[in-house]
Amino acid sequence: MNALALRMLLGDRAKFLGIVFGIGFAAFLITQQVSIFVGLMARTFGFLTDASLPQVWVMDPKVQFIDDLKPLQDTQLYRVRGVEGVAWAMPLYKGLLRARLANGAFQTCNVIGIDDSTLIGGPPEMLHGRIEDLRRADGVVVDDVGASGKLARPAPVDPSTGKPIGKPTPLRVGDFLELNDHRAVVVGICRVSRTFQSQPVVYTTYTRAVTFAPRERKLLSFVVASVSPGRDVESVAARIRAQTGLAAYTSGEFKRMTVLYFMRYTGIPLNFGIAVVLGFLVGTAIAGQTFYNFTLDNLRQFGALKAMGTGNLRLLRMILLQALLVGFIGYGLGVGSASLFAFVPLGELAFMLLPQTLAITGAAIVLICLAASLLSIQKVMRLEPAIVFKG
């Protein structure tokens, strides 16, 4: 009987494809939107992903997320180093400084100052030059997107048309830069994870970063630390909190805090939520409508099956099986086509497909199938077998 139910559905090619399309559409939209959402959210802590060595981040207790800067006094570094279980602790400067370009224009940069001797917290990948060159006088490392974009030397302008001739020249190793009126020389180009901040990222040593920065009483943004081998990261973080009165989070906790902050204080989840709900509703509408039409078309057949001795329970199973089949195929097509986005070389596209997303989409598709078949089930359950004799 189950094979029969499937043949019935497959026999009506147009409706079958219609239902699969509806479900596939929903699966596609849900997977794609959730993945872009996840990708965007992962960008919020891109800097934390890049700085992979530190296990514990120590900061002012009022800090809510990674770009929320409430600097500490330099002496806090030594207090953290004094906590038992801390293997090492390094200073980290993070701040927005103005760079002056060759044409006189200003561009705000996200300047990261890392420990002079260990260079812990540096960029994950160097494209040109070496990170050690930061130790050379005035050395900075610039990220490639910034170097070829906002920090690039603009193309000369044709005086007659006012339009630029040719392309801007990217910043290269050996080029100069003026950061907050201090001279800097580019010693390397790096690649960093994209973050929510669109400013160019400039790495330099901690000491140099604080000289670039405007004079302030406190300049130490974070203390980054690692725990001694065999020590539990969370309990060491707790000890840092207890002994210094500062906030100390594991890198995972800090990422979570950052994501939650963005989710709570930006409209991003809501916007994606709306897209997901729309996908869900539209998919349900298309699939439900077509499935119902399919059932109506086959009402006489269902009536005949009833008259010939098919019970309601068996018909229910048949309809659910039909729904399951289209759900399965639609899910595969939708998720499959959505996952192609992962291979599309659209640099700007934040797309991160997690196994959890596949599960969420799967659950949504199950709901859609149930909702779509509900009307049909109700219709067939109430069907009087006597209709088979009606002309």
Site string for another protein, 295-334 (x = CB under 8 A): -----xx-xxxxxxxxx--x--------------------
- Rounded Cα distance between 68 and 46, Å, is 14
Taking CB under 8 A as the rule, does residue 1 contact another protein? yes
Which residues 6+ apart lie within 8 Å of 210 measured at CB? Answer: 93, 113, 219
User: How many residues make contact with another protein (CB under 8 A)?
Assistant: 28
CB-nearer residue toward another protein: 16 or 203: 16
Segment lying near another protein (by CB under 8 A), choices 7-15, 41-49, 187-195, 364-372: 7-15
Which tokens in the block code for residue 5? 């139910």
Q: Residues 189, 194, 195, 198: is their CA dihedral positive or negative?
A: positive
Which tokens in the block code for residue 132? 């050690």
CB-nearer residue toward another protein: 313 or 346: 313
Site string for another protein, 11-40 (x = CB under 8 A): xx----------------------------
| Choice from 3, 137, 344, 346 touching another protein (CB under 8 A) | 3
Task: Give one DSSP letter per residue of 1-15, joined into a string.
Answer: -HHHHHHHHHHSHHH
Task: Give one DSSP letter per residue of 160-180, joined into a string.
Answer: TT-PBPS-PBPP-TT-EEEET
CB of 299 to another protein, least distance (A): 11
CB-nearer residue toward another protein: 16 or 292: 16
Given a contact cutoff of 8 angstroms between Cβ atoms, the answer to whether 240 and 225 are in contact is yes
Q: Which helix (H) or strand (E) holds 93?
A: strand 86-100
CB-nearer residue toward another protein: 125 or 384: 384
CB of 44 to another protein, least distance (A): 52
Q: Which helix (H) or strand (E) holds 336?
A: helix 312-339
CB of 385 to another protein, least distance (A): 4
Site string for another protein, 91-110 (x = CB under 8 A): --------------------
Given a contact cutoff of 8 angstroms between Cβ atoms, the answer to whether 99 and 106 are in contact is yes
Tokens 């039909």 label which residue?
Answer: 322
Which tokens in the block code for residue 38? 């996840």
Taking CB under 8 A as the rule, does residue 359 contact another protein? no
CB of 47 to another protein, least distance (A): 58
Segment lying near another protein (by CB under 8 A), choices 2-10, 60-68, 340-348, 356-364: 2-10
Q: Residue 264: exposed, middle, or buried by beta-carbon count in 10 A (0-12, 13-18, 19+)?
A: exposed
Q: Which residues bind another protein (CB under 8 A)?
A: 1, 3-4, 7-12, 300-301, 303-311, 314, 384-386, 388-391
